[in-house]
Homo-oligomer: A and B are copies of this chain.
Amino acid sequence: MTTGSRREILAGLGAGMVLTGLAARAATAPTRKIGYAIVGLGSYATRQIMPNFAGCDHARLVALVSGTPAKLDQYGADYGIPKTHRYSYAQFDRIRDNPDIDVVYVVLPNSLHAEYSIRAAQAGKHVMCEKPMAVSVAECQAMIAACKKAGTKLMIGYRSRFEPYNRLAIDLARSAHVGPTQIITADHGFPIRPDQWRLDRPLSGGGSMMDIGIYSLNAARYLTGEEPVAVSAVESTDKSDPRFRTVEDKINFLLRFPSGIVANCVSSYSSSHNGYRVSGTQGWIDMEPATSYSGQMMTIRKDGVTAPRTLPATGKTQFAGQLDHMAECIISGATPIVAGEEGLADLRIIEAIYRSAAEGRGVRIGA
């Protein structure tokens, strides 16, 4: 991002363009940037998402919601958000009256996703929600229903779908570049530090699976383009570790897909993993790191030859790509490629993974 482009955005924010009604917005010329309110000013929102509006073509940051007045002051000042566009949680529903806000981006702890997404929809706003979409299938369904009823769009923050190497991996895997896919291995994990909301089940809804493990699961789904029909999972948690009093540490799982592909997935809060490999009949496509904020590395082995595969550097980050995609969908009327149904599909499988691990049996999904 250049200083120039950032200045331009900030100048744009000051212009205070006001439009009323979704239909009017959809009909707006593409030069009109879609306004986002960020709900929850944790490190992911402030360090990863917010700086990336500067690289967006169609999205801009217009409002902030936080329970911490100092954060509202700090980030409000940093991003030129006027005090009229800064909200406490008690004031959240007033977003309804702010026409600058087109999208509410929920970056709260998992168990608050459903509530704030639904309230955003009820306020007439489009909803972007971080993954996992919610802590249960029932909540996901309620979110989808609320957005449908309100006529607003719902998108889940699966940023890897806007990352060039992951897009290439999807294309290569689904086009059988190394032959029809047979096996996918997808491993994600990190040694979690104590004292995080992610380790508090009432906020997180679960352990590694509800955090880093969803990358393994979602990758298996997007690399195949299929929905698994069965899952077998094994959990391993040291309950004497004070970090894991209420949530699981390691939970690994096998997914069987209709075409016969099997995915072996790792989810861990005790070790570092960030990679996947698509193995076909003629070779494999390896990504490591695969779903990091940046620095993806792809290696392809085909017909006995192993070589790195590099893409030209692109101007837009996965974060900006994600923010722009929702904006473009709002402008064009299209459905996001990672709509609420995508988040629901993951949660359906996550519930099956937990059930499989708890009951020590394979669980069939769907049908």
Contacts and interface: CB of A to CB of B under 8 A. Distances in A.
Given A271-B280, A283-B272, A185 B234 contact: no
A163 B333 CA distance: 61
A338 to B, nearest CB: 26
A254 interface: yes
Interface string A260-304: 111011101011110000011111100000000000000001000
Most B CB contacts (10 A, CB to CB) among A237, A238, A360 go to A360
B360 A360 contact: no
B191 A281 contact: yes
Given A182-B271, A185-B266, A281-B270, A234 B238 contact: no
Nearest to A306: B288
A185 to B, nearest CB: 6
A187 B189 contact: no
A61 interface: no
Nearest to A282: B191
B262 A284 contact: no
Interface string A175-195: 000010011010101010000
Most B CB contacts (10 A, CB to CB) among A183, A273, A283 go to A183
A68 interface: no
A232 B250 contact: no
A279 B250 CA distance: 12
Contacts of A264: 185, 187, 252, 254, 264-266
Contacts of A256: 234, 236
A230 interface: yes
A143 interface: no
Contact of A361 (B179, B187, B261, B361): B361
A34 to B, nearest CB: 38
Interface of A: 179, 182-183, 185, 187, 189, 191, 230, 232-234, 236-238, 250, 252-256, 260-262, 264-266, 268, 270-273, 279-284, 301, 356, 360-362
8 contacts: A183-B189, A183-B250, A183-B252, A183-B271, A191-B281, A234-B256, A271-B281, A360-B362
- Give 5 closest A-B pairs by Cβ, nearest first: A360-B362, A271-B279, A182-B271, A361-B361, A232-B232
